[in-house]
Amino acid sequence: MVIAVTGATGFLGSALLERLSTQYGVVALVRKEPLVRLAGVDYRICGDLSPSQEWSHLLPGVDVVIHTAARVHVMDASSSAAVNEFRRTNVEGTINLAQQAANGGAKRFIFLSSIKVNGEFTDPDRPFSAEDGPNPQEAYSISKMEAEQGLQEIGAKCGMEIVCIRPPLVYGPGVKGNFLSMLRWLKLGVPLPLGSIHNKRSLVSLENLVDLIITCIDYPAAANQIFLVSDDEDLSTSELLQRMSAALGQSVRLIPVPAKLLQMGAQMLGKKDVAQRLFGNLQVDISKTKNLLGWSPPMSVNEGLRKTAKWYLRQ
**Residues with catalytic roles:** 140
What whole-number distance in Å separates Cα of residue 195 and Cα of residue 238? Answer: 6
Helix (H, G, I), strand (E, B) or coil at 166: strand
* Angle between helix 11-20 and helix 206-218 axes, rounded to 10 deg: 60
Taking a C-beta distance cutoff of 8 angstroms, is the pair 24, 238 a contact?
no
Among 17, 302, 34, 314, which Cα is nearest to 171's?
302
Total Cβ atoms within 10 A of residue 311: 15
CA distance 176 to 244: 15
Q: Which of 52, 41, 54 is nearest to 13 (CA)?
A: 41
Handedness of CA 296, 297, 301, 307 (dihedral sign): positive
Return the sign of the alpha-carbon dihedral for residues 277, 151, 91, 146: negative
Rounded to whole angstroms, the Cα distance separating 47 from 89 reads: 12
Helices (H) and strands (E) in the chain, counts: 11, 9
Query: Which residues make Cβ contacts (< 8 Å) with residue 58, sequence separation at least 6?
Result: 4, 27, 29, 44, 46
